[in-house]
Amino acid sequence: MIKLRNQELIILIVTVVIFAGFSIFLDKFFSTGNLLTLMRSVSILGILSIAMAVVVISKGIDLSLIATLAVGTALASVMSSPDVLPSFDLPFVYAVLLGFLFTAILCAITGILVAYWDMASVFVTLAMAGVIYGLGRTLFIGDELNYLPEDAIWLEYLGRGQLLGVPMPIICFLSLAFIMHLVLKKTTFGKFVYSIGDSGLAARTAGVPVRPILVIIFVIAGLVAYFAGLLTAGAISSINTRMVSGSMIYDVLLVVVVGGIGLSGGKGGMHNVILGTLLIGTLLNGMVIMDISFIVQNLIKGIILLIAIMTDTILNPRDEQTTQQGDI
């Protein structure tokens, strides 16, 4: 059974208060249509946050997740469209597998640069975000907006269908969170992830294959982000690569940090992701309904993220090894 710490209880209480306040004072908030929209948007944010959480627990960060989401999904769409690349015209299932392979290879490169070249993950993933986006747009993806083919009905069901009245994206999010919880808490791989986050040097000394595990972590994060991209496309029958230049990566960071996963590594779990997703997802939805400008929204999110990082620094101080390496 998961026991919530004081910080997590505070997050849960704040979420309930904000949700109740929005329900009372915002006319359109507590409506069936908006709640369904909220659940779908929260699920995509949550799945991306699962990807980020795994990396952060290992004392890293991945700023290329949105690029991976958009380009991998757009590639699958393009490869299955006879109007775009007639020489390919693959069945959509095969195109999805091709996007899976493309994502895995690029994320493995990211992991190799971090693990074997001892490069700081924040800088590697920032650069790889540009590489992934530029490579995809230059070689494969001509248009920013890419539509799903007709044989993507199964994906559209995952993106906007319901099972027993529950939106499929929510089911996908909670199922993935449960699976990742089991992986992190019940498997040897999960124990390795936490030990690397606690101290990479100590983990290596204890015989943990730190470098290969780090590569696998980045590949897993990228594939989870790719899955989030497929759900996004399924919800609206298209994917727009312009989202790479948006602020979604900051929303993901907000979820992870506010949810209580320490940036110092080795702490947190999927319950933190769920708590953070509920809080940030509710806040973002409320700000949209209140018609707060994009600039002001970014200001508010920036202030919250800064306060969350300051709080995390106090609650989870960085050790001497982390300080010397300059890792996040």
Q: Is 296:242 a contact under the CB 8 Å cutoff?
A: no
pLDDT at 328: 39
Residue 222 placed within a domain: yes
pLDDT at 6: 67
Residue 45 placed within a domain: yes
Residue 265 placed within a domain: no
Residue 296 placed within a domain: no
Considering only the C-alpha atoms of the chain, give the largest distance between any 2 of them, rounded to a whole number of Å: 58
Residue 172 placed within a domain: yes
pLDDT at 121: 94
Range(s) of the domain holding residue 118: 28-246
The tally of CA atoms less than 13 A away on the side-chain side of residue 77 is: 31
How many domains would you assign to the chain?
Answer: 1
Residue 229 placed within a domain: yes
Cα-flanking dihedrals φ and ψ of residue 326, to 5°?
80, 15
Cα gap 308→263, rounded to integer Å: 10
- pLDDT < 50: residue spans in the chain: 87, 320-328
**DSSP-assigned letters across all residues of 66-130:** HHHHHHHHHHHHHHT-TTT-TTT---HHHHHHHHHHHHHHHHHHHHHHHHTS---HHHHHHHHHH
Cα gap 50→256, rounded to integer Å: 8
Neighbours of 188 (CB within 10 A): 8
Cα gap 31→26, rounded to integer Å: 10
Strand partners, 146: 239
Query: Token digits for 51?
Result: 């990807």
Residue 105 placed within a domain: yes
Helices (H), 150-293: 153-160, 168-186, 188-198, 200-205, 210-236, 248-259, 270-289
